[in-house]
Structure 1
Amino acid sequence: MNHNTPLSPRPLHHLSDTQRLVMTTRQLRAHGVSAATAAERCRSGGPWQQILPGVHLLHPGPPTSEERLHAALLYTASRAPGGVAEPTEEGPPGAEGYGPAAITGLAALALHRFSSAPPVLSLDRVDVLVPRNRRLRSTGFVRFVRTQAMPRSEEIAGVPTAPVARALADTVARLTDASTVRRLLTEAVRGGHCEATAIVGELSASRLLSRPHVVDAVDGLLAEGRAIAEGQLYEMVRAHVLPQPLWNVDLRLPGGPCLGGVDAFWPEQSVAVDLDTRSSRHEQNPPPAGFTGRREHLERLGITVVRITPRKLREVPAQQAAVVRTALMAAADREPAAYVVILPR
């Protein structure tokens, strides 16, 4: 008899390798392996090992990164009322079978392929994000991070993973080294994982902006995020053969107050582009009062203001170029705009 494979009235062929090799006591029982048999096989020198309370690794060697992550999630789910979802003949439960939980922190950044995040196997702890009302105690290599509202997780390699901005906030909360914080935040923006303001929103929600080393990193991050968005705007104009605008200018009435700065301005057509670099979570909402008031003021003067977000520049640049082109073409049908003074920003 092969002691590495549980005798089972239920087939295991539909499970992934990791799901075959990491199981809870309850799952093993469903496959015909009693708790006593599992405990016997997990004795010192045996073919199995108990990697976490109630979670078994069905081979004697060290766990892989994937096995470690699934073990952490199985342990979390097994502590929920009713326990972890069971595999069926149709297939494994998938990420949703772990309940309201997601890998976060450095382990999540590793899953998001951050080069500045260490490999999962080198981490002393795997952080698991759970709702605040869950009564869970960190144990072994599992550390729980609680939140009032669970974000929508992303499934990476079958593992529910916190979005980048949330994973960064949970990572930064435990870091004191300014250079490490700066390196992680910079990679998030330069690598296109998320926008700077989305990160700042999560850091603010986690009350981390009172820490001097975090504030210093954020100042550089916002400047970098803005520069990246401006570069994408330049590329959109070039790639879609739009007329060259005046870049980064302030508009002012002759002898009057400043009307505000715009990122691109076509004076002959009186069309301006304003980059809205607020947090991506707000992009579907109406613009803030300050933006709305300035836009309305400019439009009362006959200047068309096109609002573009960094996310749309990145994901649908052709659509944004079409919006700008339409505004430029419509200029001929409008009343002439008021004369404004254009100054470099």
Structure 2
Amino acid sequence: MPRRTIWRRCEPGGVWRMLLPGVVLLGNGEPSAEQRVEAALLHGRDGSILTGVHALRRYGLRNLPLTDEVHVLVPAERATASTGFVHIERTRRLPSPLIRSGVPTAPIPRAVIDAARRTADPDLVVAMAAEAVQRRFCLPWALAEELDQQHRAETRALLPGLEPILGGAQSVAEADAWNLWKRSGLPEFQWNVKVFDSAGRFVAKPDGWCDEIAFAWEIDSLGYHSEGDHFRATLARNARYAAAGIVVLQTLPSRLRSEPDAVMTELHAAFRSARGRPRPDVHLR
């Protein structure tokens, strides 16, 4: 088609729309998210791979920042520049893509770290990584390995924020608890491990657990744990803790930030209480 015909149809009020250099939308409305992704990959040319937030959305993750930017990986030698809504990243470490809905997509650990590097809100960074781990899209060591391989100053800056997730926390609230424990001077805690009683019956999966003295720390949100089936499940869990002789401290997530010193005092007091009685016969599996 003659170039002048394309330009005429893409003029204001025309029937087409120029999305990116050389990429035309055969319509004059706003492009959908899928059309933006397709246009970005066309701009990146053969071998380009979707990563970042839009890649994670294709896997079904929900705790994602709102962004129109489409992050695309291309081979290092390719002279393709970022433009419009497309962020082009040239890399010598191009991952083997997975095809998601017909689109070559970076593996989740790479997509999480790439998205984190371009997200300013540290809570959103933690939420993305936590969801990926909690929903078993990837394991913490895979995120740690990706961080290690990138060797970027901006990636190294992510490590303090992601350290709780790498240590076993599975939410922003648990990350706050992990950071508070880190400052507490208390012995080692484990996170999201399964505890069983002497007969091998499941007791609970506490957010935080000190195996040395069989002490559990639960970060229980008021909205989630106070209604309907969640409330009954929480009461049943607490009954199993009591029957097994486990000391448990329950903390509202909001207090980890609004009253950290008070929570720290409670944590130490509960720890001393647990340490002052014989350790019950419970174990991890």
TM exceeding 0.5: yes
1:210 aligns with 2:156: yes
CA distance in 2, matches of 1:155, 1:206: 23
Local SS of the residue matching 1:223:
coil
CA deviation after TM superposition for structure 1 residue 216, in Å: 3.7
> Which of 101, 106, 127 is residue 48 of structure 2 equivalent to?
101
CA deviation after TM superposition for structure 1 residue 42, in Å: 0.9
> Which of 160, 181, 185 is residue 125 of structure 2 equivalent to?
181
CA distance in 1, matches of 2:88, 2:144: 23
Local SS of the residue matching 2:87:
strand
Change (3 A) 1:192 1:76: same
1:223 aligns with 2:168: yes
Tell me the equivalent position of 2:115. Answer: 171
TM-score (norm 2): 0.57
CA deviation after TM superposition for structure 1 residue 209, in Å: 5.8
1:116 aligns with 2:63: yes
Identity %, equivalent residues: 34
> Which of 53, 61, 77 is residue 133 of structure 1 equivalent to?
77
Q: Which runs of 5+ in 1 are unaligned?
A: 1-32, 78-98, 232-236, 239-247, 251-343
1:157 aligns with 2:101: yes
Spell out, residue by residue over 1:210-256, the C-alpha distance to the aligned partner (whole angstroms, 9 max, x if none): 32x5324223433248856x55xxxxx99xxxxxxxxx999xxxxxx
Tell me the equivalent position of 2:38. Answer: 70
1:45 aligns with 2:13: yes
CA deviation after TM superposition for structure 1 residue 140, in Å: 0.8
- Where in structure 2 are the equivalents of 1:265-344 lying within 5 Å? none
1:145 aligns with 2:89: yes
Spell out, residue by residue over 1:259-315, the C-alpha distance to the aligned partner (whole angstroms, 9 max, x if none): xxxxxxxxxxxxxxxxxxxxxxxxxxxxxxxxxxxxxxxxxxxxxxxxxxxxxxxxx
CA deviation after TM superposition for structure 1 residue 36, in Å: 2.4
**C-alpha contact (below 8 Å) 2:143/2:166 kept by paired residues:** no
CA deviation after TM superposition for structure 1 residue 37, in Å: 1.9
Local SS of the residue matching 2:71:
strand
**C-alpha contact (below 8 Å) 2:140/2:165 kept by paired residues:** no
Spell out, residue by residue over 1:96-131, the C-alpha distance to the aligned partner (whole angstroms, 9 max, x if none): xxx22111111111122211114xxx5242110112
Instruction: In structure 2, give the amino acid aligned to 1:202.
Output: E
Change (3 A) 1:123 1:177: closer
TM-score (norm 1): 0.48
Local SS of the residue matching 1:217:
helix
Spell out, residue by residue over 1:29-64, the C-alpha distance to the aligned partner (whole angstroms, 9 max, x if none): xxxx33222222111101101110110000111111
Could you say what the CA RMSD is over the residues aligned between the two structures, in angstroms? 3.0
Tell me the equivalent position of 2:260. Answer: none
Q: Which runs of 5+ in 2 are unaligned?
A: 171-189, 195-199, 202-209, 213-282
Spell out, residue by residue over 1:132-190, the C-alpha distance to the aligned partner (whole angstroms, 9 max, x if none): 22111111111112221211111112111111100111112223432122111100100
Change (3 A) 1:156 1:61: same
Local SS of the residue matching 2:167:
helix
CA distance in 2, matches of 1:163, 1:192: 13
**C-alpha contact (below 8 Å) 1:168/1:185 kept by paired residues:** yes
CA distance in 2, matches of 1:42, 1:175: 33
Tell me the equivalent position of 1:303. Answer: none
Tell me the equivalent position of 2:272. Answer: none
CA distance in 2, matches of 1:210, 1:62: 37
**C-alpha contact (below 8 Å) 1:100/1:150 kept by paired residues:** no
Tell me the equivalent position of 1:338. Answer: none
Larger Rg: 1
Corresponding residue pairs, total: 184
CA distance in 1, matches of 2:88, 2:21: 15
